[in-house]
A and B are shown apart, each in its own frame.
Chain A
Amino acid sequence: MTNSIIHIFLALVMPPLLLGVIGKTKAAFAGRVGAPFLQPYYDIFRLLHKGTVFSTTTTWIFRAGPLVALATAAVAALLIPFGAHPAPISFQGDMILYAYLFALGRFFTMAAALDTGSSFEGMGSAREATYSCLAEPTLFFALITLSRLSGSYSLSPMLVNISFGVWLDSGAALLMLVGGMFIVLLAENCRIPFDDPNTHLELTMVHEVMVLDHSGPALAIIHYAAALKLFVLGAFFVHLALPYATGNPYLDWVLFIISMLELAVVVGIVESVMARLRLIRIPQLLVAATILAAFSTLLVIR
C-alpha cells in the first residue's frame, strides 16, 4: 500500500522535474545559468490560470484531445513498475495495453489537430503518424525479448526481473535493447534529434505544431501529459539500462529517483551535442532502432 502511494505520488509530481533537469543541463552546456529546475511547474501553473479560446470550427474532438492524452499517460503510469517496486496494477498481457494506451493518446492528439482544419496541424499529424508507425515495432520487439527473458506477459515481473545477473547472462541482447529503446524514448517524447520542443519554427515542428491551437488549461494539460509520457517511457528505459536494486524498499525508491534524474541529464547532454536530424532522415534512425530490437529478440529466442 505504501509503495502504491509513493508510486502514484511520484507519477503525479515528478514528471515536470525531468524537463527542468533537461533544460538545466542544456543551459550548463551552453554556458548559461538557465531557467530554474521548477520552471516547468511554474509554466503549467501559469497556464492553468489563463482562459481558453476554442475556435468555432472545432468540435468536441478538439477538446477531448488533451484530456485523452493525459488519461492514457496516467493509466500507463499505473502499469509500469518504478524501480524495484511492482506497479499498482498488473495482469497478464498488460504490456499490450501499455503499448496501445500511447497509441490511443496519439490518435486523439492527431484527431484534435486535424479538427482545427489548419494546414500546419495537418502537416504535424502526418509527421507524427509516420514516425509513430516506425517506432512501434521497436517497442514490441523489446516487449517480446523481455517476456522471453522473464517468462511473463506482464510488465511488472518482466521489468523487475532485469538485474545484473540477467545482464551477465544476456548482455548483448539487453545492450541492443537499450540502444533501440533510447532512440524510441527520444522519438516518442519529441526530443532532439527528432523534434525540438523549444523551437518557434512552425514548419519544423512535429508534436508542437499539432497543439498550436490549444491554449490555457488545455495547453497546461498537454504539457503535463507530455512530461508524464517522458516519465513513463523513461521508467521503462531505466529498468533496462540501470537495473539497480538493494532490497531495501526505501533505498530502492531513492535509487529510482536518482536513475530518472540521471536519464534526464543524459537526454540533456544528447540535446546539447547534436543538431536536429533532417526530417527525412528520422525514419532511417527509427528503422535502425527496430533492427537493434529485432536482433535482440533473435538472440534470446535462438
Chain B
Amino acid sequence: MNLLRDTIMNHFATNATLCGDCYPVAIPQILVPREQFDDIGWLMKDVGARLVAEWGVDETPLGRQYAVLACFARETEYLLLRCNIPHNDPTFPSLSKKLAPAFRFERQIMSLMGLTPTGHIHSDLRPWIKHEDWPVDAWPLRKSFAAGQRMPRVDGDYAWVRAEGEGVYEIPVGPVHAGIIEPGHFRFQAMGEDILNLEERLGYTHKGIEKRFEQLSWNDGAQLAGRTSGDSTVAHALTYCRALETLTGQSIPSRAAWLRAIMLELERIANHLGDVGAIANDAAFTFFFYQFMRLKELLLRINKRLFGHRYLMDLIVPGGIAVNPADEGTASLGRELTDLLKEFERIVNMYDLNASLDDRLRGTGILTAKTARELGTVGYVARASEQALDCRIQAPFSPYDRFPPHVVVLNSCDVHARAWVRIEEIRDSIRLIHELLATLPDGETVIMLTKVPPDCSSLAVVEGWRGEIVYWLQSGPQGEINRCAIRDPSSVNWLALEQAVHGNIVPDFPLCNKSFNQSYSGHDL
C-alpha cells in the first residue's frame, strides 16, 4: 500500500526527497521542487487520491523559510507532500487546476499566511476567512505578525458572484440567523423558487485558533483543541492528543484508549440524535424533534453522571484521559444504552413510516457521488453519496483496529440518505460501545508525556461525528509548538453544500443545510 508514495517518487525521481522526523512513519512527507508542485495535482488525481488538506507553514524559527504542505489519502494510505518557498518570493503553483477543493485551502493560505497561489485558472484570489476590514497585507499566521496587536480597520469590498437577468433576484441570508446557530452568510441567486446559485461566505467566527496554539504549552493545547468546534470537543481533543503522542512516540494505557473510543462514540450518538431531530424539525415535524432531543438529553445526563461533563469537554488530555469511571458506572452505561436503543428504535420506526416526511427528505439536496468524490467530502456527507470513507477503518488506532465499525454507505445521495446514515451510525456506535465495555481493560488511565523533540512533525486523523478531523503538529527549535494546522470536516463539506442545493427550491435550503450541519467555528478557526 505505497501507491501514492511510489507514484510521486517515480515521477520526480531524484528531485523528490523523503523528509526525516515526520511521524507516524507510515505517513511519509516528501519534499518536491516548488516549480513542479502542481504536478502532484494530476498525479494524485490519476491514482484516485483525494486532497485531504493544504496548508502553509512559516518555518523561520527553524532556520528555514515558508512551506506549503498538501495531504492526500487513498484507501488506507495517507501521504504528505511539501514544497519550500523562499521569503523573497512567497508564491507557489496552485493545485486547483486539477483538484477543485484546493481553491478554498489556497485562498485561506493566501489570506492568513500571505503565500500566493499562481497559475490559478479561475483567478479566485478573494480573501477567505480574513475579511476585508483587515489590511490585505496583514498575514496573521506569519511569525513576524505579533498576535497581541490591534489591527486598524480598513475599507474594502467583497466581490460577490452575481447573476443578472429578468426575474433573477438575490436573497442575502445571514450572517446572523434567526435560530440560535453560528454566523455565516449565504447569498442566493434565485428565479422564482428555483435556486440558480448559492455562494457561501464564512469567517465570521474566525478567532485565530491556529495562531493561538503557537503561544501555548503542549498541555494547554489540548484544551484549546477541545474548543475548536464545541460539538466535536472529544474528537478534536483526541486528534490533537494523538498527534502529540505520536510526536513523543508514546502509547497510552489501553484502558485510556478504550475509554477515549467510548467517549468518541458517545459524542457521535448525541450529535446524530440531535441532528436527525433537527432535520425533521426543519420539515416542521416537531414531534420527532422533541423525541430525538429527549433521547439526546438522556445521553447527556449519562455523560454528566459517568464522566462529569455533559459534552465530555476537557476529559481527553495528553497521555490519556482525565477521569477514571468506576466499574458500576461503566456497567450502568451498558444497561442505559440498551434502554435508549429500544426507545430509539420505536421512534425511528415511526420516522421511517411517515410518508409526509419521506416526501420532503427524499430527492432533496442531491450531492452526486461524482461531486462528493471530486470535492473530497468526508463523514456522513460522503457516506450518503456512495463514498466508503471512515477513517476508523482507513486510519485505525487502538481499539478500533480490534473493533472496527460497520461502515454504512448509501446511494440515494439526498437529505434522507444523510439522515439515515446517522441513524445507522447511532445503532452501530451503541453496538461498538457494548463491545468496548465488555472488554474494558483495568489499570492506569494516564501517563506522563516525555519532552517533545525539536523540529519534528506529526499527523493524526480521527473520525469525529462529522467526519475525518486532521491535525498536523510541528515542533519548534526548543520543542515548543511551531505550527498546529487543523482541518475540520467542515472545511471540505461546506463546499459540497453549495453543489447540493443546485436544482432545489429556495424553501428546501434549510433542510439541505441541516442535513449537512457543518461547523462554522471548526471551519473559520
Contacts and interface: CB of A to CB of B under 8 A. Distances in A.
Contact of B506 (A31, A203, A271): A203
Contacts of B354: 273-275
Contacts, number: 85
Contacts of A203: 171, 173, 506-507, 509-510
Contact of B505 (A26, A271, A278): A278
Interface in B479-525: 505-510
Given A123-B171, A203-B171, A275 B290 contact: no
Interface string A263-294: 00000000111111111110000000000000
A193 interface: yes
A200 B286 CA distance: 13
Contacts of B360: 275-278
A204 B173 CA distance: 12
Interface string B451-495: 000000000000000000000000000000000000000000000
A202 B356 contact: no
B359 interface: yes
B380 to A, nearest CB: 21
A192 interface: yes
A302 interface: no
Interface in A245-273: 271-273
Q: Which of B280, B285, B506 has the most CB of A within 10 A?
A: B285
Interface in A183-201: 192-193, 196, 198-201
Q: Which of B171, B172, B357, B509 has the most CB of A within 10 A?
A: B171
B471 to A, nearest CB: 34
Contact of A204 (B179, B285, B290, B507): B507
B280 to A, nearest CB: 7
Contacts of A123: 169, 171, 190, 506
Nearest to A278: B360
A200 B180 CA distance: 10
A122 interface: yes
Interface in B7-41: none
A268 to B, nearest CB: 11
A201 B289 CA distance: 15
B193 A120 contact: no
Nearest to A205: B507
A278 B357 CA distance: 10
A198 B286 CA distance: 10
A193 B192 CA distance: 21
- Chain A contact residues: helix, strand, loop or mixed: helix
B286 A119 contact: no
Interface string A169-191: 00000000000000000000000
A279 B169 contact: no
Interface string B81-98: 000000000000000000
Nearest to A199: B284
B282 interface: yes
A49 interface: no
A193 B357 CA distance: 11
B341 interface: no
A30 B284 contact: no
| 6 pairs of A and B residues whose beta carbons are closest in the complex | A276-B284, A200-B178, A275-B283, A274-B356, A30-B290, A196-B284
Interface of B: 169-173, 178-179, 190, 192-193, 280, 282-287, 289-291, 294, 354, 356-357, 359-360, 364, 505-510
20 contacts: A30-B290, A30-B291, A32-B290, A119-B169, A119-B171, A122-B169, A123-B190, A126-B192, A192-B284, A198-B286, A199-B284, A202-B178, A203-B171, A203-B507, A273-B354, A275-B283, A275-B354, A277-B360, A279-B507, A280-B505
